[in-house]
Amino acid sequence: MLITFHSKVVAEVLMLTDHAGVLLQAAGKSFGDKIPERGVFTLEQLQPAIDGIERAIDEYQRAHEGSEEDDVDKAPVPPMARMVGMKERAFPLLDMMRQSLAAGAEVTWEVSRGW
């Protein structure tokens, strides 16, 4: 399933549920096994949410330092075959949150109802 993030400031951000769930939890939203149908980051919640996602990215990168891509004896991995990390997945949402915070706008999300 897809999650759509909305802001009055920037274009929508679409994300697969699995990836969105990790970022929402890092941003301080707690839920059980299922992401709520709708949610919001208020202006007061945006900066702590940004900080939480940035911490999660740092932890992810520390945990994945020295991966096989750094092995000089192996053939280089072509760019299209490289794994997409948390930093790359989180960038559009972080950008939306930062711009929304600067403009004084909330960020909301909802479960998309298909394509």
Give the pLDDT of residue 68.
Answer: 54
Determine, yes or no, domain membership for 73: no
Number of domains comprising the chain: 1
Determine, yes or no, domain membership for 71: no
Strand partners, 108: 6, 40
pTM of the model: 0.83
Determine the structural domain holding residue 50 and report its residue range: 2-65+78-112
Between 68 and 66, where is the model more confident? 66
Rounded CA-CA distance 32/55 in Å is 22
Rounded CA-CA distance 63/26 in Å is 16
**What's the DSSP call for residue 40?**
E
The answer on pLDDT for 52 being more than 90 is: yes
